[in-house]
Amino acid sequence: MKIRNLFFTMAAAAVCLPAMATEAKEKLPTAEQRFGGKIEDAENPSFRRHVVPLASKLGCSGRECHGSFQGRGGFQLSLFGYDFKKDHTAITNDTKDDIRVDMDNPAQSMFIQKPLKQIKHKGGEIYEEGSWEHNLMLKWIQEGAKLDVVETGAFDRLEIFPKEIVARKAGESIQLKVLAHWADGTVEDVTQFTRFRTNDESVTEAHEGGRVEIKGKGDSHIVAFYDNGVVPVPVMLPVSKLVGKDYPKVKTHTKVDALVVDKLRKVGLVPSETCTDTEFLRRVTLDVTGTLPTSDEVKKFLADNSKDKRTKKINQLLQRPAYAAWWATKLSDFTGNSPQQIRVNNLPRDTNLSGMWYDWLEHRVAENVSYDKIVEGIVMGSSRTSPDQTFEEMCEEMGSYFRDKNPKGFEERENMPFFWARRNLRQPEAKAMAFAYSFLGVRIQCANCHKHPFDQWTQQDFKSFQAFFTPILAGTNNRSEGKGNMDYRTLTAELRKEANYDRNDPQQNLNRLLRPIIEKRLKAGEPIPWQEVYIRQRVQRKYTPEQIARFKRRNPNFNARVITPRVLGGEDVLEAKYEDPRAPLMEWLRAPENPYFARAFVNRVWAHYFGRGIVEPADDLNLANPPSNEALMDHLAKGFVASGYDMKWVHREIMNSDTYQRSWRVNETNKLDEKNFSRYVLRRLPAEVVADSIMQATASDDRVEEFVTNMDTRMIGSASTTNYRGRNGAAYMLQLFGKPLRENNCDCERTSSPTLLQTIFTRNDPEMLARIEGTARGSSSWISELRITHGESPRDRANAAKALQLRRTLEGMRTRAKRFAANKPRKPEGNNPAQLKQFQARLKTYQKSMAKMQGTIAGYEKRIAELVPPKAKLSVKETDAMITEVFLRTVSRYPSPDEMKSAKADVAAAKDPITGVRDLLWAMLNTKEFMVNH
């Protein structure tokens, strides 16, 4: 299918006019020249080109006035004036009490008198009598108050001069000129009809009439709005005198660097130096694999003197299982893989559909399947793997993934249907918004109710786009076909019979009866009733007027007209050409000229590496939110498409640049820069990476080796795809550090802001302390390993190991005693003898049990004290090696001489060297350097 992209024409890309056209624009009359002076000399205004834009600019159709949902004073306009027919009807249709447009006496029209405040108007005086605005509105009524949308034709594009503003000083003013180009070839100066806004008031302000005032140093955009055109104009005031010929020479080894430095040169930002090898290794390993580099890895990398060692390290990391695990988690974020939203109530509780979704993604990332192929598998996902597959065959296939003996791998499946099976995606509009968010990086939800305030999308655009998703259903599909005509209903009836369910018995709980039967069948690989994702067959229905009237009484928004699907910024799609309405969507996504698909992905990858996107927020691509570096975004998006949507190409292109490898240390010019990538901005580690890094830094040597290669227990992998709500274990930690629930269409669900609770957790939480000591369930810590290794004799080592086991038991007993103490009987109020007697009996039992617990605890403490070996005697060399290992495990570098001196003093002051090393490890885990990527 050939889908024409209208995005760039609608966006009015910065295309220079030929010299003749440039001269012509200077001669075009302004609105004041055309409509000012004597009204009889004024031009005849157009409703679409002049009346509606002027009302919008004056704020009449804004959300605070008549553009609000309820309107004002019984008068409602479409928000931002996008619905011309509706607005014309609202203006020209008189009410019982008011004559808005008086054709016999136009000057007495309420539409004229209210803005002049000749009659009561809550909005006050909008313009003066005799002004060009007044003349325009009055002249329009005098000429018949016509609706001329058809006559004016289609809007083509908006053009602004100058196309970029580079100011010399604060306080400077620059006048913008805005030209509207129409499809019939008409060009007119619409500066005075245009709304302007600034994206950063500290840099620049936009005044009425297109006057731009420079407020301070930095760079931003002024955005112009007219009709369906939205055009940003870059505005900058260099932050230093180092611009143009005075800018220092900066080497640019890659295309990315050249494009970034081109922008820095304009703004006067000098980039930071290249980061050190230790900083690079920690940064790139955490970013690519969500994993700390091991101590041996740090030593080997620092000892390597080859010039291309950074490039080789990037290539090595992209081959590791942890890369696939971490980036499958990132894709799960973008696509909304929420355990809560795809839970199926009738299935066994340990059925983890979210984990299957993750495994499907992880398998493809590991195989470096192209991004468009991965998206195709999600978008085109259906429960039945082929059109000919029957319901029973589908159930058998699903059962094969859960059977105990030789289960099939779900990751081998061609597509993955769970994206459409989420409970928060039941309505077509929800599906449209989720699709736009996940694969286009666009927040289109505003257009569900009104014109998008920052983009070209109208409510009709949204409804046309939504039409693609109406036939996509998730639930019970009762088509009967195949073996024994089995469908969901008949299979459920079979299970009810097997469970001896009597619907007339109020004591029976159907789910409770069915669960053990379903669980047994599932483990055996036998069919159970699965709800499914499927495409509803297209049915053409013709309703009588009576039926339509009845439907509208039930649902005032009912529309009997079938809406033709249309891609965003493209043409109508004839559904009859496609059995599945998602097929044209995939064709549109893959089209090289698609303005969103490639950009959305490379922008999110860039945001992952730099803490902010080239467009920020990274999931909000819209015309009023332009890239901070358009040329850079264009290069990455086009390169991604040319690579065949190779995700590793994007990673390499970014990480091999000096821009990514900049130091976080600032200079005088870039200390405030956060959006032009002249330095590396410190970022707190993501929740899963924090959890894994703590486990890795505290784990025994053997466990560290397994940790780097085995992803089954990693939080960056499938271990975090179960339901992570709650207070217990890693679930609480992930929630505390900002892991997203993936229930909303917003990248902002993942948070990286530091909080007091995070500090309390890393300093005092029993789980954290148990990981360090090695007393956490299933853990083997480096500290416990040191205690055993450095015992005085084999017997001491055995006793230390035994003491370690007893400590774990003792910890559990203390916890139980604490809970028991919290339930101490309370003396009843009053003097009821029976209650007092009962209280005394309960108190006596409580005291007896508590004394027994305390005695047992004391016994364990005494036994542990007897087993603890004498204070270990370590050589200076051994102490230095342990201190060095703490630094390598936590911050991936060697300690400085001052740090070594201070650490040795602290270890020597401890009750024993191993305890001193343990305290040092705890302290390093609580440093900012450990918690951030730098």
Please say if the pLDDT value at position 799 is more than 60: yes
CA distance to 28, 164, 167, per residue, from 692 (Å): 64, 46, 48
Q: Are residues 770 and 857 part of one domain?
A: no
Average pLDDT over residues 512-534: 88
Please say if the pLDDT value at position 267 is more than 50: yes
Q: Are residues 428 and 577 part of one domain?
A: yes
Instruction: Please answer whether residues 22 and 586 qualify as being in contact, where contact means their C-beta atoms are separated by less than 8 angstroms.
Output: no
Q: Are residues 370 and 482 part of one domain?
A: yes
Q: Are residues 836 and 777 part of one domain?
A: no
Please say if the pLDDT value at position 824 is more than 60: yes
Beta strand pairing call for 165-166 and 195-198 = unpaired
Three-class secondary structure of residue 568 per DSSP: coil
Residues of the chain with pLDDT > 70: what percent? 89
User: Lowest-pLDDT range, 13-27, 475-489, 560-574, 773-787?
Assistant: 13-27
Final residue before a domain boundary, out of 817, 847, 866: 866
User: How many whole angstroms separate alpha carbon 336 and alpha carbon 319?
Assistant: 26
pLDDT digits (tens, 9 = 90+) for 51-93: 999 998 988 877 778 777 777 777 878 877 778 898 898 888 8
Residue ranges of E strands in 176-228: 177-182, 187-189, 195-198, 204-207, 211-214, 218-226
Q: Are residues 452 and 585 part of one domain?
A: yes
Q: pLDDT value at position 602?
A: 98
Q: Are residues 898 and 861 part of one domain?
A: no
Instruction: Please answer whether residues 720 and 326 qualify as being in contact, where contact means their C-beta atoms are separated by less than 8 angstroms.
Output: no
Final residue before a domain boundary, out of 589, 618, 649: 589
Q: Are residues 438 and 346 part of one domain?
A: yes
**Could you tell me the pLDDT band of residue 185, with boundaries at 50, 70 and 90?**
very high
Q: pLDDT value at position 499?
A: 85
Please say if the pLDDT value at position 15 is more than 50: no
Please say if the pLDDT value at position 288 is more than 90: yes
Query: Which residues share a beta bridge with 196?
Result: 224
User: Lowest-pLDDT range, 82-86, 251-255, 687-691, 776-780?
Assistant: 776-780
**Could you tell me the pLDDT band of residue 464, with boundaries at 50, 70 and 90?**
confident
Most confident of 61-70, 148-157, 213-222, 518-527: 213-222
Q: pLDDT value at position 725?
A: 45
Please say if the pLDDT value at position 9 is more than 70: no
User: How many whole angstroms separate alpha carbon 633 and alpha carbon 366?
Assistant: 26
Please indicate, yes or no, if residue 728 is contained in any of the structural domains: yes
- Phi/psi for 195 (5° steps) reads -90, 140
Q: How many domains does the chain have?
A: 5
Q: Are residues 582 and 457 part of one domain?
A: yes
Please say if the pLDDT value at position 5 is more than 50: no
Q: HSE of 735 in the Cβ direction (CA atoms, 13 Å)?
A: 12
Please indicate, yes or no, if residue 255 is contained in any of the structural domains: no
List strands edge to edge, sheet with 187-189.
Answer: 155-161, 177-182, 187-189
Please indicate, yes or no, if residue 844 is contained in any of the structural domains: yes
User: Lowest-pLDDT range, 208-222, 239-253, 424-438, 760-774?
Assistant: 760-774
User: Lowest-pLDDT range, 39-53, 179-193, 458-472, 748-762?
Assistant: 458-472
Please indicate, yes or no, if residue 50 is contained in any of the structural domains: yes
Please say if the pLDDT value at position 723 is more than 70: no
**Could you tell me the pLDDT band of residue 730, with boundaries at 50, 70 and 90?**
confident
Owning domain of residue 99: 36-152
Q: Are residues 484 and 439 part of one domain?
A: yes
Of 442, 498, 488, 434, residue with least CA distance to 466: 434
Q: pLDDT value at position 460?
A: 80
Final residue before a domain boundary, out of 816, 837, 866: 866
Please indicate, yes or no, if residue 98 is contained in any of the structural domains: yes
Q: pLDDT value at position 506?
A: 85
User: Lowest-pLDDT range, 348-362, 397-411, 719-733, 884-898?
Assistant: 719-733
User: Lowest-pLDDT range, 142-151, 155-164, 217-226, 730-739?
Assistant: 730-739
529: which 2 tokens? Answer: 């009733």
Q: Are residues 487 and 400 part of one domain?
A: yes
Please say if the pLDDT value at position 630 is more than 60: yes
- Report the chain's mean pLDDT, rounded to a whole number: 87
**Could you tell me the pLDDT band of residue 7, with boundaries at 50, 70 and 90?**
very low
Please say if the pLDDT value at position 677 is more than 90: yes
Torsion of CA 121, 125, 129, 135, to 10 degrees: -80
CA distance to 72, 214, 309, 895, per residue, from 933 (Å): 52, 35, 20, 18
Average pLDDT over residues 457-467: 82
Q: Are residues 329 and 437 part of one domain?
A: yes
User: How many whole angstroms separate alpha carbon 517 and alpha carbon 603?
Assistant: 48
Q: pLDDT value at position 16?
A: 32
818: which 2 tokens? Answer: 């604490």
Share of the chain residues as helix, strand and coil, in percent rounded to the nearest 5 = 50, 10, 45
Taken as a whole, the chain contains a residue count of 934
Q: Are residues 565 and 709 part of one domain?
A: no
Q: pLDDT value at position 791?
A: 61
**Higher-pLDDT residue of 198, 8:** 198
Q: pLDDT value at position 327?
A: 97
Of 123, 120, 99, residue with least CA distance to 111: 99
Please indicate, yes or no, if residue 212 is contained in any of the structural domains: no
Q: pLDDT value at position 509?
A: 83
